[in-house]
C-alpha cells in the first residue's frame, strides 16, 4: 500500500505535520510526503489548456515527478492549515497543476470508478466557529474527486493557536480512526 501526502504547512513540525505523522503511523505501508513549502521547481498553472487535449502538462518541471507518484499511489492524503478559509498559497500552486486530471472532464477520459482512497486533514488557528473549514473542504474534496480518489473523511483541528493533538485527544482519535478506515478500505 502506497500513500502520497501533500502537506501545505509552512511549519515542518507544526500541528498539520503532527496530524499527518499520526495518520501515517496508524496507516502503515509505504508513504511519501510532498512538502508544498520545500518542493522545488514547480511553476503555477498558466491555463494554457494544453491538458484539454492531452493527459499531460505543457510545463515540464518538478510536477512531472509528482504526477508519477500520484499515479503509483493507492492513497492520497491532503493536509493543510487554513489561511483565510482555504489551503495555503504554496499548496494551491501544487493543486492548480492537477488541472491535468480535472481536464479529463473535457477530454472525456475520466475513470468510471475511484482509483485510490483519499483523506483530508485541516488545521485552523481560530477558535471553532461554524463553517470554519468549509472553504478548504470544498477545495480538497473536489480535488480528491478530480484525482479519482474516494474521500473517506476529514479531520479538523480548530483553535490550534492554543490547542494541539496533546490537548485534544478527541481529535487525535479521529485521525487514528480515519487512518484505520483507509487501511480497511485497502483490505488490510
Q: Which DSSP symbol is given to 98?
A: T
pLDDT score of 101 more than 90: yes
Cell 510532498 sits on residue:
34
* pLDDT digit string, tens, across residues 163-177: 999 999 999 999 999
pTM for the structure as a whole: 0.96
Average pLDDT over every residue of 39-56: 96
Three-class secondary structure assignment of 111-166: CCCCCEEEEEEEECCCCCCCCCCHHHHHHHHHHHHHCCEEEEEEEEECCCCCCCCC
Give the three-state DSSP class for 90: helix
> Count of domains in the chain?
1
CATH of the domain at 109: 3.40.50.360
Average pLDDT over every residue of 128-149: 96
Distance from the Cα of residue 63 to its chain's centroid:
15
**Alpha helices for the chain (secondary structure H):** 15-27, 63-72, 89-96, 99-102, 104-107, 134-146, 169-185
- Could you tell me if 144 and 4 are in contact, meaning their C-beta atoms sit under 8 angstroms apart? no
C-alpha cell at 111: 475513470
| Mean pLDDT over the full length of the chain | 96
- Could you tell me if 58 and 111 are in contact, meaning their C-beta atoms sit under 8 angstroms apart? no
Banded model confidence at residue 93, pLDDT cuts 50, 70, 90: very high
C-alpha cell at 188: 488490510
Distance CA(172)–CA(20), nearest Å, equals 11
User: What pLDDT is stored for residue 104 in this prediction?
Assistant: 95
Average pLDDT over every residue of 137-147: 97
User: What pLDDT is stored for residue 9 in this prediction?
Assistant: 97
> Domain span at residue 10?
2-185
Amino acid at each position: 500500500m502506497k500513500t502520497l501526502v501533500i502537506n501545505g504547512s509552512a511549519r515542518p513540525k507544526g500541528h498539520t505535520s503532527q496530524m499527518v505523522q499520526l495518520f501515517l503511523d496508524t496507516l502503515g505501508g509505504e508513504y511519501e510526503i510532498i512538502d508544498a513549502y520545500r518542493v522545488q521547481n514547480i511553476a503555477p498553472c498558466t491555463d494554457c489548456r494544453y491538458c484539454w487535449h492531452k493527459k499531460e502538462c505543457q510545463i515540464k518541471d518538478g510536477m512531472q515527478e509528482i504526477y508519477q507518484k500520484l499515479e503509483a499511489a493507492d492513497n492520497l492524503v491532503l493536509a493543510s492549515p487554513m489561511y483565510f478559509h482555504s489551503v495555503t498559497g504554496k499548496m494551491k500552486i501544487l493543486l492548480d497543476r492537477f488541472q491535468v486530471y480535472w481536464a479529463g472532464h473535457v477530454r472525456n477520459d475520466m475513470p468510471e470508478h475511484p482509483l485510490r482512497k483519499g483523506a483530508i486533514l485541516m488545521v485552523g488557528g481560530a477558535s471553532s466557529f461554524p463553517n470554519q473549514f468549509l472553504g478548504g473542504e470544498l477545495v480538497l474534496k473536489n480535488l480528491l474527486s478530480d484525482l479519482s480518489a474516494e474521500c473517506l473523511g476529514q479531520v479538523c483541528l480548530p483553535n490550534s493557536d492554543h490547542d494541539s493533538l496533546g490537548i485534544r485527544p478527541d481529535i487525535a482519535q479521529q485521525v487514528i480512526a480515519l487512518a484505520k478506515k483507509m487501511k480497511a478500505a485497502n483490505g488490510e
